[in-house]
């Protein structure tokens, strides 16, 4: 069996890669275990030196890596290059602050002679998605490696070239053999890897369904987990909002990565008194995004990553229209090569429609009209997901009320939701648990060890 990559612009084959054989998987586990003992014993200055070198290698190969992301999953090239730069920034951040995050601490009120230290766990299995093929892997791997762990990457099959490029980056940066390895395996290998005593934790970014399966396997093996799963982020637009700002921000947040982001804006909950004006401004901005060849720097909206993803999005849109939603723009499958889908806006969205109940993973927006603030908050929380959310209002008091009531891991006020390397990132409910990035990411896979000295 092989892993196949396709060009989303054309649907044509890019390359196929043979799956790792059981003997190769065993070899990777042996190497990871051997490297783990040595890497855990390394001084943190050595780990920081590696992370700096990885960041430098990312910048050196920025154009090549950006082009590879675009080739394998169709991201517009300007966004692909920005993703590579964000990964380099992640390396810079942990190289600068990592020592502080992992220094032993004496908690307030602790007895004399007691302290807490943060020891590495061992090997972390990182199961990563295709939509941000470098960033998702780096935001998991860099803090794990900083803490003294080794990493095995199981990436999405349609970005296998990116997965191997990441391994090459670590090698070129001087990583000891076994510290970071890419496994060319399918999802059917995950349960066996988690059951193996040489794997000590798992981090997964992906769908809620995948997260539940991996959580069950990890629970059976008693392995710690960090999960960042699906999202159906609500953006709440109130009658006192700057509607030009709201419309522009909402369009930008809905179409980032051609709408294929767990933390992209998806549901737009708009107070009825400004609904018509918001719809006009929002639709104009959605239509204005230039769709085309993702290798063209002027392109803002590329193809979707896979044909099955586009087909599923179109089914969700079509079923929502049949159930009573109205199309304001888009919603038609284009002819020709590639997995393109137009910027689409649905309004009149209600419970029972896929656009209300499910995650729309592509460039389609759902507008939901509400009467007042109380109902807006109720609708926003009426979702199994809780990853990100945003509020648009000129009133600080109203913003505080809504922020405190929203059930999500991140809330943005008058700006889009986005991850920042210094801040914890993750969700609640079916959007997962645990946190990545910042100090929280550095301590996701450590043994928090209490040490007491007698007097």
Q: How far apart are CA 404 and CA 425, in angstroms?
A: 17
Assess whether 91 carries a catalytic annotation.
no
In this structure, the dihedral spanned by the alpha carbons of residues 102, 103, 109 and 111, taken in order and rounded to 10 degrees, is 120
Measured over the CA atoms of residue 160, residue 166, residue 167 and residue 168, the dihedral's sign is positive
Question: Which of 300, 298, 288, 249 lies closest to 414, judged by CA?
Answer: 249
Q: Which among 262, 300, 359, 430 is annotated as catalytic?
A: 262
Find the largest Cα–Cα distance for the chain.
78
**196: exposed, middle or buried (Cβ count in 10 Å: 0-12, 13-18, 19+):** middle
Which helix (H) or strand (E) element contains residue 203? strand 201-205
Q: How many residues comprise the chain? A: 455
Place of tokens 């803002």: 300
Q: How many helices (H) and strands (E) does the chain have?
A: 15, 17
Q: How far apart are CA 341 and CA 359, in angstroms?
A: 16
Per the CB < 8 A criterion, the answer to whether 341 and 333 are in contact is: yes
Structure tokens at 74: 């169709």
Per the CB < 8 A criterion, the answer to whether 158 and 16 are in contact is: no
Place of tokens 């807490």: 116
Q: Which among 228, 300, 359, 430 is annotated as catalytic?
A: 228
Per the CB < 8 A criterion, the answer to whether 349 and 355 are in contact is: yes
Beta strands in 26-157 (DSSP E): 114-120, 123-127, 150-154
Assess whether 90 carries a catalytic annotation.
no
Q: How far apart are CA 337 and CA 360, in angstroms?
A: 22
Question: Which of 140, 116, 138, 161 lies closest to 54, judged by CA?
Answer: 138
H runs (alpha helix) in 289-352:
307-322
Catalytically active residues are: 228, 262
């Amino acid at each position: 069996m092989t892993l196949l990559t396709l060009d989303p612009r054309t649907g044509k084959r890019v390359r196929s890669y043979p799956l790792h054989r059981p003997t190769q998987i065993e070899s990777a586990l042996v190497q990871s275990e051997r490297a783990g003992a040595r890497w855990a014993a390394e001084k943190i200055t050595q780990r920081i030196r590696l992370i700096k070198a990885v960041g430098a290698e990312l910048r050196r190969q920025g154009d090549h890596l950006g082009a590879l992301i675009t080739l394998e999953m169709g991201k517009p090239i300007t966004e692909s290059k920005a993703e590579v730069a964000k990964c380099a920034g992640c390396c810079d951040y942990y190289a600068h602050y990592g020592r502080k995050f992992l220094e032993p601490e004496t908690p307030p009120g602790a007895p004399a002679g007691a302290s807490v230290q943060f020891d590495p766990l061992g090997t972390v299995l990182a199961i990563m998605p295709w939509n941000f093929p470098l960033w998702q892997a780096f935001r998991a791997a860099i803090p794990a490696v900083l803490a003294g762990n080794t990493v095995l990457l199981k990436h999405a099959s349609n970005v296998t070239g990116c997965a191997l490029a990441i391994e090459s980056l670590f090698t070129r940066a001087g990583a000891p053999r076994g510290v970071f390895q890419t496994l060319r395996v399918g999802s059917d290998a995950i349960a066996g890897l988690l059951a193996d005593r040489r794997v000590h934790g798992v981090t997964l970014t992906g769908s809620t369904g995948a997260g539940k399966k991996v959580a069950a396997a990890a629970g059976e093996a008693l392995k710690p987990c960090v999960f960042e799963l699906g999202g159906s982020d609500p953006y709440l637009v109130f009658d006192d909002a700057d509607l030009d700002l709201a419309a522009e921000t909402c369009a930008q947040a809905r179409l980032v990565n051609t709408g294929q982001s767990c933390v992209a804006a998806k549901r737009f909950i708009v107070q009825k008194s400004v609904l018509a004006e918001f719809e006009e401004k929002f639709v104009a901005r959605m239509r204005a995004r230039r769709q085309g060849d993702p290798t063209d720097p002027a392109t803002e909206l590329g193809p979707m990553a896979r044909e099955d993803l586009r087909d599923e999005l179109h089914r969700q849109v079509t079923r929502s229209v049949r159930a009573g939603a109205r199309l304001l723009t888009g919603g038609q499958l284009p002819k020709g090569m590639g997995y393109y889908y137009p910027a689409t806006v649905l309004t009149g969205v209600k419970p029972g429609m896929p656009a209300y109940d499910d995650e729309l993973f592509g460039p389609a927006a759902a507008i939901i009209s509400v009467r007042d603030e109380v109902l807006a908050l109720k609708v926003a929380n009426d979702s199994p997901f809780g990853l990100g959310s945003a509020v648009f209002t000129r009133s600080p008091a109203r913003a505080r009320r809504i922020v405190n009531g929203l059930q999500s891991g991140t809330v943005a006020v008058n700006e889009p939701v986005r991850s920042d390397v210094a801040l914890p990132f993750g969700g609640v409910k079916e959007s997962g648990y645990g946190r990545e990035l910042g100090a929280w990411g550095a301590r996701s896979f450590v043994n928090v060890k209490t040490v007491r000295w007698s007097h």
